[in-house]
Structure 1
Amino acid sequence: MAIPDDLSLFNSTSSPHSKTEIYLNTSLAPSAPPCTDWPPVSMTTVIPTIYSVICVLGIVANALAVCVLAHSNASRRTVANTFMLNLCVSDLLFLLSLPLWAVYYSQGYSWPFGWVACKVCGALLNLNLYASIFFITSMSMDRYLAIVRPLHSQSARDPKRARLTCILVWVLACACSAPTFYLRDTHLLKGLGVEACVISYPNHTWYLTLAWMKIVLAFLLPLLVISCCYYSIGKHLLADTGLVRMQNLPHPPNMNSFKSLESSKPERPPMPCVSPSSCGGRTLEGRGLERVLWTVAAVVLAFFLCWFPFHCVTFLDVLNSKGWLDSCWINWTIHNLTPLTLCLGFSNSAINPVLYCFIGNHFRGHLGGLCKGLCACLKTRGEDHSQKTGSFSTRLSSFSRKLSDLKDLAIVEPSGPV
């Protein structure tokens, strides 16, 4: 089956010189290298199911987060909340396009929505790939400044500067996703009998450049920055906890020397919380510290576990395109695991609002307030409707009684002289 060598499916990072069916099910691509010991994965059923679950959960979580963050008062519009709001908007925009990709897979890689939708959905996919990771990195740096360097970062952590940073992130994400937006289009694959939404690379250099750009800018550099920031945060919190425990000892040994050491040591400012709402302005101790450290660990692990498999398979595909790796299990991995690892990366869009929003006490309280206000509003409207209905029925019954009285009068009174 002859298939053009310069195409790649929407979720693929394949070389332009490799066959397009490299990411298709083997039943759809009989020319793929035989690998009898490694059974293929049925993408037409597995991927749509996973996409549907991610879409429903992610849209609900991100929509709630956007509502809460957008309706917060001016005093709560902090730097962290600004980054959270933009992150949720980025995830929400992409998740709205996910049903189209689910249909794309369920119909055997046939794109029925036209070339405009192909370009738009592909642009949202790549835009979210970069924007979400850039916003997570910005939030990590903001938390590092707020906790480790609270005094030095007061002027830098300004909501206006945060909004400018968000604009810069959007611009950078658009610039990084512009090449794939230009190259993506619908193309008739005669060998498969479908019109697919694909990326047509002009040459092998284009493919390598975009693949390495994804690996470096969308994973390695953000992971390095995030890990360094949260390592410093954890080290700082543990150091402050040790200092607090030493100061709270009832009878420390060698009290005179401890007092002299304490008097010679400069006074440290109180350690701020990760978010003002999570601690109420008090020093993180005990369960508060443990909660912050677990949140920090969850953020790093979620980012790593969601995106590492996809970029690892992308790296394998780069090596395979250069001819450095070529074996049965390599081909099977690229064929079957690229779409699945991309699903895992997409799940990060549903996990983000849980990690960054729903864990905070203030966020949950504000969400509860919005829900109570909505219920009260619906209850008030229902009561008004019932009052209007009751009033109308009362007036109707009164009118009926008057009409009945008039009929009775017409029967009893004489009609006139005979």
Structure 2
Amino acid sequence: MAVPNDSSAFNSTFAPYTGKSGEAASVCPDWPPVPMTTIIPSIYSVICILGVIANALAVCVLAHASASRRSVANTFMLNLCVSDLLFLLSLPLWAVYYSRGYSWPFGRVACKISGSLHNLNLYASIFFITCMSMDRYLALVHPLRSQSVRDLKRAKLMCVLVWVLALACTAPSMAVRDTHYVEMLDVEACVIIYPDHTWYRTLAWMKVLVGFLLPMIVISCCYCAIGRHFLTGSGLANLRKVSHSGSVCKSSVSQDSCSKSERPPTPSVNPSSSGGGPKEGRGLERVLWTVAAVVLAFFLCWFPFHCVTFIDILKSDEWLDGCWAHWTVQNLTPLTLCLGFANSAINPVLYCFIGNHFRGRLAALSKGFCVRLKAREEDHSQKRGSFSTRLSSFSRKLSDLKDLAIVDASAHA
């Protein structure tokens, strides 16, 4: 039974558990470790607070959307936000874990569930982003031919398939994750204990290839095709043609529902404006910048983590050795994971909050909530006033009865 050999609480493995950390420290005294027990909990807390708020708001807005505003892109967005939210809710457990010096106080079941939520989010979020990219490609490059393919039933079926695929990719890690007593640290840790090196190599390569490289290739191809389509001018001509036929309406990042067809969540482009005018140019520029931001955020958040994972694979196969490789895997795995986790907080901003329609629906939802709250307070005030009035009336009647009783008693006397 092989205990992992890197320093990620999620990726499975803590070099301190095998004694390699101590060997590296003695051989490499000039490579001091990063104080994870103070840095990581702070970063996790910030990501958790911001991410939960952003994703909760996004889920509320998307879930309460009217039937006319429900679209393929919004369906993918809702599932993406749910995936991010589920994982972010487990971050406080990991923050406590690091702050206690890798001591897991929550039990074996919580260890398996929390670790599985991380892997589930790693795969599900990337798969949903890939689905959204393909949806954008179909809607912008082939808006007419894709109408029969892009419908809500197929989108919901695709979401089910994504969840099933993400769960299948998560199952092996969940099976080998468990609590493990670490004698060196005198703690009960939550780690992945691989049966043999083949397990580690297979799961590590699956994360790099299935969880990053292949989706990145698909996403890049989709957005390169979209950019080329718009830069050649055929995209604007196609949008103008569809608009005049009554099939496409104005859209924003989170508004893609139209009367006869759907469009993906892209920034506002007014195809009916005068050809090549300033508004149309600014709209096209916003489309391209948003596309670039989506791909760039995905790449910047997860590329460092997968680079460190690749270095760990090479180190485990003895292709790499030395202090820099030990230090990189030991210290940069948790830090690059933090950057990857930040993508869960960035996603709702990229896909939702920069859209005018999304902000408008959020404002309307907030306004409606405030109106209901105010009405409830007024109703409560009215009931309280009515109760006070009835109590005052009852007090007056009681006083009158008391006076009558005194008068009656005086008369008898």
Deviations 1:58-81 (A, max 9, x none): 111111111111111112111100
Q: Partner of 2:275 in structure 1?
A: none
Deviations 1:158-204 (A, max 9, x none): 11111111111111111111100100011111121001111111111
1:192 aligns with 2:185: yes
TM-score of the aligned structures, taking structure 1 as reference length: 0.87
1:398 aligns with 2:378: no
Deviations 1:281-339 (A, max 9, x none): 64571222222111111101100000000000001111111111112122111111100
TM-score of the aligned structures, taking structure 2 as reference length: 0.88
Q: Partner of 1:336 in structure 2?
A: 331
**Are residues 127 and 322 of structure 1, via their aligned partners in 2, closer, same or farther at CA, if it must alter by over 3 Å?**
same
Alignment partners' CA distance in 1, 2:344 and 2:159: 18
Aligned length: 388
Q: Partner of 2:46 in structure 1?
A: 53
1:325 aligns with 2:320: yes
Deviations 1:208-265 (A, max 9, x none): 1111110001111111111111111122222228977xxxxxxxxxxxxxxxxxxxxx
Alignment partners' CA distance in 1, 2:185 and 2:46: 28
Alignment partners' CA distance in 1, 2:162 and 2:86: 16
Alignment partners' CA distance in 1, 2:270 and 2:68: 15
- Residue 52 of structure 2 contacts residue 88 of structure 2 at CA under 8 Å; is this kept in 1? yes
- Residue 270 of structure 2 contacts residue 283 of structure 2 at CA under 8 Å; is this kept in 1? no
Alignment partners' CA distance in 1, 2:84 and 2:358: 18
Structure 1: give runs of 5+ residues left out of the alignment.
Answer: 245-266
Deviations 1:352-403 (A, max 9, x none): 0110011112111111111001000000000011111111111111222222
Which deviates more from structure 2 when the two are superposed, residues 286-295 or residues 373-382?
286-295
CA deviation after TM superposition for structure 1 residue 121, in Å? 0.7
- Residue 33 of structure 1 contacts residue 331 of structure 1 at CA under 8 Å; is this kept in 2? no
Q: Partner of 1:264 in structure 2?
A: none
Corresponding letter in the other structure for 2:392: S
Q: Partner of 1:216 in structure 2?
A: 209
CA deviation after TM superposition for structure 1 residue 280, in Å? 7.4
Q: Partner of 1:121 in structure 2?
A: 114
**Are residues 129 and 33 of structure 1, via their aligned partners in 2, closer, same or farther at CA, if it must alter by over 3 Å?**
farther
> The residue matched to 1:72 in structure 2 has which SS?
coil
Corresponding letter in the other structure for 1:177: T
**Are residues 414 and 77 of structure 1, via their aligned partners in 2, closer, same or farther at CA, if it must alter by over 3 Å?**
closer
Q: Partner of 2:32 in structure 1?
A: 39
1:6-405 alignment runs, 5 A limit? 6-7=3-4, 10-12=9-11, 20=17, 29=22, 32-240=25-233, 269-270=242-243, 275-276=255-256, 278-279=267-268, 282=271, 285-405=280-400
Corresponding letter in the other structure for 1:375: C
Corresponding letter in the other structure for 2:10: N
> The residue matched to 2:190 in structure 1 has which SS?
strand
Alignment partners' CA distance in 1, 2:37 and 2:235: 55
- Residue 13 of structure 1 contacts residue 207 of structure 1 at CA under 8 Å; is this kept in 2? no
Alignment partners' CA distance in 1, 2:13 and 2:410: 101
Alignment partners' CA distance in 1, 2:47 and 2:372: 31
**Are residues 74 and 417 of structure 1, via their aligned partners in 2, closer, same or farther at CA, if it must alter by over 3 Å?**
closer
Alignment partners' CA distance in 1, 2:16 and 2:331: 14
> The residue matched to 1:155 in structure 2 has which SS?
coil
- Residue 187 of structure 1 contacts residue 196 of structure 1 at CA under 8 Å; is this kept in 2? yes
Alignment partners' CA distance in 1, 2:172 and 2:319: 27
**Are residues 320 and 146 of structure 1, via their aligned partners in 2, closer, same or farther at CA, if it must alter by over 3 Å?**
same
- Residue 47 of structure 1 contacts residue 340 of structure 1 at CA under 8 Å; is this kept in 2? yes
Alignment partners' CA distance in 2, 1:164 and 1:242: 29
**Are residues 32 and 20 of structure 1, via their aligned partners in 2, closer, same or farther at CA, if it must alter by over 3 Å?**
farther
Alignment partners' CA distance in 2, 1:183 and 1:324: 26
Structure 2: give runs of 5+ residues left out of the alignment.
Answer: 258-266, 273-278
Corresponding letter in the other structure for 2:84: D
Alignment partners' CA distance in 1, 2:393 and 2:220: 76
**Are residues 194 and 403 of structure 1, via their aligned partners in 2, closer, same or farther at CA, if it must alter by over 3 Å?**
same
Alignment partners' CA distance in 2, 1:59 and 1:21: 36
What root-mean-square deviation, in Å, do the aligned CA atoms of Structure 1 and Structure 2 show? Answer: 2.5
Alignment partners' CA distance in 2, 1:417 and 1:172: 94
Alignment partners' CA distance in 2, 1:124 and 1:22: 28
> The residue matched to 2:410 in structure 1 has which SS?
coil
Corresponding letter in the other structure for 2:148: S
Corresponding letter in the other structure for 1:373: G
> The residue matched to 2:108 in structure 1 has which SS?
helix
Alignment partners' CA distance in 2, 1:99 and 1:199: 19
**Are residues 33 and 154 of structure 1, via their aligned partners in 2, closer, same or farther at CA, if it must alter by over 3 Å?**
farther
Alignment partners' CA distance in 1, 2:369 and 2:280: 36
Q: Partner of 1:253 in structure 2?
A: none
**Are residues 207 and 387 of structure 1, via their aligned partners in 2, closer, same or farther at CA, if it must alter by over 3 Å?**
same
